[in-house]
Amino acid sequence: MIFINPTIIRSLNKSKLRKKILFFLYKIYPQGVYLSELSRWVKSDPSNVLGCLKGMSTRYNGHYSLIELGLVKCIDENGMKIYTITEYGRNVVEYLKDYDKISKW
């Protein structure tokens, strides 16, 4: 059993977009995706998606960003940034999926 930090659960519950991004990256694992492609798939503006990934000003606190929480990593490939879910991020998604099944009882 892996410990899931309650701060992570709180962060994901406070932002539907963070959760949507994480679940999409889980779905396409082990592939990564560029910011523009990710924003198309989650149907959100690239600046909002980037805020969820890295943090942005006061709207998206950097301490609760997906990268800072260790759920997503950014790989620089020939100057292009590719975002992919981490192993810990995969564990968090699996935990949330199990939690959703239990809460529907």
In a domain, 13, yes or no: yes
Q: Into how many domains does the chain fold?
A: 1
Q: Taking residues 2-24, what's their average pLDDT?
A: 90
Q: Report the alpha-carbon angle 99-100-101, nearest 5.
A: 90
In a domain, 42, yes or no: yes
In a domain, 94, yes or no: yes
Domain coverage including residue 31: 6-103
DSSP assignment of 11-59 equals HHHH-HHHHHHHHHHHHHTT--EEHHHHHHHHTS-HHHHHHHHH-BTTT
Closest by alpha carbon to 23, among 96, 102, 104? 96
In a domain, 1, yes or no: no
CA atoms within 13 A on the CB side of 14: 13
In a domain, 21, yes or no: yes
Q: pLDDT of 19-52, one tens digit each? A: 999 999 999 999 999 999 999 999 999 999 999 9
